[in-house]
Amino acid sequence: MPKASELKRNQVVDIDGKLMVVQQIDVRSPTARGASTLYRVRFSLLPGGGKHEATYTGDDILKDVALERRTASYLYREDNLYYFMDAEDYSQYGIDASAIEGQVPFLIENMEGIMVSLVDGQAISIQLPAIVVMEIVETVPGMKAASATGRTKAAKFANGLEIQVPEYLEAGEKVKINTETGKFSSRA
């Protein structure tokens, strides 16, 4: 069982029988003598993504959850469920769209290298690779002399994602996108 001072981002804990994933930790050191350091933690409810905030002292103990991580690939979407296949035993996991809404724009069919987090055999969240390669399907024509400037333009991808890319890129080119920031990284 971890103390509040040992919490890390993306760690899953049990609070009042509900699974919560740590999203952000703000550490505040009071100026008064003898006062203990405070940890303001923002959680996201699993599954579903509801928000929860709490403040703890460094010695407060939280209940840890046995979390299993499995490598999987994205298969398909059916209504509000996204299905992933385990890379080792080929079992399938369905995850509700609301649990992974921030990651959905980066999913491509047959995408590999995704980490699925399981609690008691039930998939509760995914972790995408840091960089994904996608093909631009729509953008304004590229400018030949634009490589020296830092100007950008909008580009659309097959799954509906729209981001800013350098002016010199054209439709049909593959680019690397950072899944944490949602920004263009480089040409593929």
User: Is this structure's pTM higher than 0.85?
Assistant: no
**What is the strand order of the sheet 183-187 is part of?**
162-166, 152-157, 131-139, 174-178, 183-187
Say yes or no: 60 and 9 in one domain.
yes
Within this chain, do residues 77 and 56 fall inside the same structural domain, yes or no?
Answer: no
Pair of tokens at residue 65: 């959850």
Structural domain that includes position 28 = 4-64
User: Within the chain, which residues score under 50 in pLDDT?
Assistant: none
C-alpha distances out from residue 58 to 27, 37, 65, 66, 161, Å: 10, 6, 19, 22, 41
Q: Which residues touch 124 (CB under 8 Å, ≥6 apart)?
A: 12, 19, 46, 47, 95, 99, 117, 118
Question: Structurally, how many domains does the chain consist of?
Answer: 3
The CATH number given to whatever domain includes residue 108 is: 2.40.50.140
> What is the model's pLDDT at position 64?
82
The confidence score (pLDDT) of residue 101 equals 79
CATH number of the structural domain spanning residue 57: 2.30.30.30
Tokens encoding 86? 């385990």
pLDDT tens figures, 96-125? 887 787 888 999 888 999 999 888 888 888
Identify the pLDDT of residue 19.
84
